[in-house]
Every structure is written in C-alpha cells, then in structure tokens.
Amino acid sequence: MNYIDGFVAAVPTARQADYLEHARLAAEIFRKNGALSVVECWGDDVPEGKLTSFPLAVQRKPDETVVFSWITWASKQARDAGMKQFMDDPRVKDMQMPFDGQRLIYGGFAVILDA
C-alpha cells in the first residue's frame, strides 16, 4: 500500500496566495522526486475545540487559517528517498515558509485501508 506524509499548519489568512505559490513549488519538487500526488486544503469548516481540535493543535491565531495537506508516495522507501532528494534540492534551501514552521505538525503514515 501507499505511504502518506500528513501536515497541519496555521497560515496567515492574508497570505493565502503566498502559501499557494509556496505549495505549488514544493509540489513540483515532490512530484519530481517520486510523490504520486500532493494535496493542499485550506480550512473552511474547522471548529474550535475545548480539548482537541486542529486550531488548538497548531495554536491558530485569529488572523490565521488551518491548512491540512498530504503527500502520497508509492512506499515508505520511495518517501525516504524522495524526501532526501527534496531536501537536497537547491530551490528548497532558499524557500521561505509563509507561516510559522514551529507550529507545523507532520508525520508519516502507513496506509491500512484505502476504500
């Protein structure tokens, strides 16, 4: 089965266009290095929680929007190789994130059901 890298971030709402430009470049590099797909989602109906929620997890501020994204890889091995190539790409070294990367949540996930 495929392997997924998942991400949740808080992005300044006024910087949506900057984020999209950043995401398009990153997607191009990920795809060049083996990613099957890259999906970016701009929060539209992301409720506040009292104990847990996306906004709480990324410490979203009032002027920010939660972004949820994922990258699909053929396998964990393809992801490990592709991610290394991504990080070694000179365009990544100059990339400025249009959000606070310290509040980015990410992880790798083995697919156990794809229905």
pLDDT at 77: 98
Confidence of residue 66 (pLDDT cuts 50, 70, 90): very high
Q: What is the residue range of 36's domain?
A: 3-110
Please tell me the predicted confidence (pLDDT) of residue 86. Answer: 97
CATH number at residue 93: 3.30.70.100
Domain count, the chain: 1
The answer to whether residue 67 is domain-embedded is yes
- Give per-residue pLDDT as tens, 15-58: 999 999 999 999 999 999 999 999 999 999 999 999 999 999 99
Per-residue pLDDT band for 81 (boundaries 50, 70, 90) equals: very high
Cα angle: 7, vertex 91, 11; to 5 degrees: 35
Residue 26 resides in a domain:
yes
Asked whether residue 63 is domain-assigned, the answer is yes
Contact 4, 82 (CB under 8 A): no
Task: Report yes or no on 49 lying in a domain.
Answer: yes
pLDDT at residue 22, rounded to an integer: 97
Contacts of 54 (CB under 8 A, 6+ apart): 8, 43, 46, 60, 66, 68
46 in a structural domain:
yes
pLDDT for position 30: 98
Look at residue 115 and tell me if it is in a domain. no
